[in-house]
Amino acid sequence: MPVTIAQLQKWKQQKKPIAALTASDYAIAKLLDKAGIDMLLVGDSLAMVALGHKTTLPVTLEAMIHHAQAVGRGIENALLIVDMPFLSYQVSTEEALRSAGRIFKETDAKGIKLEGGYPDMVATIRKLVQAGMPVMGHVGLTPQSVHRIGYRVQGSTPDTAEEILHQAKALVEAGIFALLLENIPAELAAKITDLIPVPTIGIGAGKECDGQILVTHDVLGLSDWQPPFAKKYTNLQETITEAVKQYCQDVRNQ
């Protein structure tokens, strides 16, 4: 049966862990769905792992919609969430409403994800929720702010930890259905998970979150760089390279 947002809320209460991964194409999405994944995020990380950019910043709204359409065709049960890319929601609330509306109208997304928990972003999320659009929040390391904060652990001091906790509470009050916690200390993630009523999904945030997400390319060994918190379950780089070498050899030796 298709996973719903209401089920995520129920699973938090039941302490049933939520398994999530990213997806950017039909073939992989179909396999992940068949394997039983609960939630698939069409993350703006596809800018790096699928399109070859150095950061998530260059990916466009049109590209996100294009990839989300492909992923949607491949899944039957997983809950489909789509990242809103850089500058598709930060300029104004009106722009955010238009961008989010396109995602919901043009894909099978059941929710969208926005980065940040500062007052302006909280106000934007409140408007989106009021318009009937389910929103997942995202605090801690926010890759769209890479040039300001870098790719490093966030919330490692008492002041910054308190700020992230404050952001989490504000986002819940704005109406988010779940919260992604990225690259923050496990103790802080556990505290947030215990305090807020919506599911937390961790990535590099310890095991006490209500669920976990990783970039699928990292899990499958397809990435050139592996974050320290991501477990590689297989090495498809080696498998694919060897298979193609054998194919080339067969063709050339006919």
> Which residue carries 């780089």 as its tokens?
237
CA distances from 210 to 103, 157, 160, 190 (A): 26, 23, 22, 9
Report the 3 state secondary structure along 137-168: EEEECCHHHHHHHCCCCCCCCHHHHHHHHHHH
Q: Which residue has the tokens 């090495």?
A: 235
Distance CA 66, CA 121 (A): 25
Closest CA relative to residue 38, chosen from 65, 66, 16, 64: 16
Residue 127, annotated ligand binder? Answer: no
105 belongs to an annotated ligand binding site = no
224 is in an annotated binding site: no
State the residue for tokens 């008492």: 158
Whole-angstrom distance, CA of residue 13 vs CA of residue 168? 18
Asked if 182 is an active-site residue, the reply is yes
- Tell me whether residue 44 is annotated as binding: yes
Catalytic site residue from 182, 187, 208, 242: 182
Torsion, Cα 137 97 143 223, to 10 degrees, reads 100
Q: Does residue 92 have a known ligand-binding role?
A: no
Which residues are known to be catalytic? 182
Q: Which residues are annotated as a binding site?
A: 44-45, 83, 113, 115
Annotated binding site for 3-methyl-2-oxobutanoate: 44-45, 83, 113
* Binding-site entries for Mg(2+): 44, 83, 115
